[in-house]
Amino acid sequence: MAHPTLACRFLNFKLHSPLVLASGIIGTSAGLMTRAARHGAGMVTAKSCGPAPRTGHPNPVALDWGHGLINAIGLTNPGAEEEARLLAETQTQLRPLGVPLIASIFAGTVAEFAQVARTVASAQPDLIEVNISCPNVGDEFGTPFAGTCESAAAVTESVKNAVACPVSIKLAPNVPDIARIAGAVVEAGADAITAINTMPGMVIEPVSGRPVLSNRVGGISGPALKPIALRCVYEIAQAVSVPIIGTGGVSTGLDAAEMLLAGATVVGVGSAVYYRGVTALEQIGQELAAFMEEQRISSVETLRLRG
């Protein structure tokens, strides 16, 4: 058998690798995103931006607690207008490499999502990822948009009406039925789904008796999140036919294989960059290719069909 290929398709994009730099890791500058592209990323995702600049939460905001990471950065970002300039600069460096750029957005109201999407779309990203795990400030209880089919679909429709590029909706794991919500956003026009965001959690320092993070609670990522992400991706893949960016706890090539077997089209890599450095995607790609060769699997599509 010839050496396996990692090349694959996602929507209308031909990727040299199924590995995607996830949002929020090193997607903060054109140089870092280009570096990730040169070191194994088939697509790269910029850090999420919102309607206005945010400084985020005071330190401590992140911790390696032994089984993964927990963070409450607080959506630190320069605002949509400055982000659009960063995205435009990044595109000039990524296009010659053939690596698509994903912009990531969040907002507090349905109308704000459309506004932020229009602003970042001016930089011509290849895809916009919509983070609907943030609280709906127009809701009496501040329920996250990802929490119900109705609110998730409303954001999806609003963004789709605002931009011409493809849109992926990033779903949250802490919901009663993620497959139903996936179905609702696809019906509302989502071109793809990113699954999943971090899982809310808490770590307490026992001597002081206080939560470690200044925000008390934060999002769990890294190895502890993988079984949850696999279950969510599997359920979504059974419910909808759009491509899925499977994200959560992928640190090795075998982890990536598991995510593809669960039904992901491509695989997001985030916390592994903390553990293995900026070349994590390259290393994971090499490990995935070695596994495929050992199992006599010729392509990413063939691997996925085995799941």
To 5 degrees, how large is the angle CA 245–CA 119–CA 77?
70
Sign of CA dihedral 132, 133, 134, 136: positive
- Token pair 């090193």: residue: 26
Active site residues: 134
**SS3 assignment, position 34:** helix
Rounded CA separation 150/170 (Å) = 15
Q: Which of 279, 238, 303 is nearest to 8 (CA)?
A: 303
Give every CB contact of residue 244 below 8 A, 6+ residues apart in sequence: 192, 193, 194, 195, 233, 236, 237, 263, 264, 265, 266
List, in order, residues 6 or more apart from 113 with CB less than 8 Å away: 105, 106, 107, 130, 155, 158, 159, 162
Q: Alpha carbon of 44 to those of 12, 174, 231: distances in Å?
A: 16, 25, 24
Helical residues (DSSP H) of the chain, grouped into ranges = 30-38, 80-94, 110-121, 149-162, 178-187, 226-239, 253-262, 272-276, 280-294, 300-305
Asked if 229 and 221 touch (Cβ cutoff 8 Å), the reply is no
CB atoms within 10 A of CB 58: 10
Are 246 and 268 within 8 A, CB to CB?
Answer: yes
In terms of Cα–Cα distance, which of 266, 267, 264, 261 is closest to 307? 261
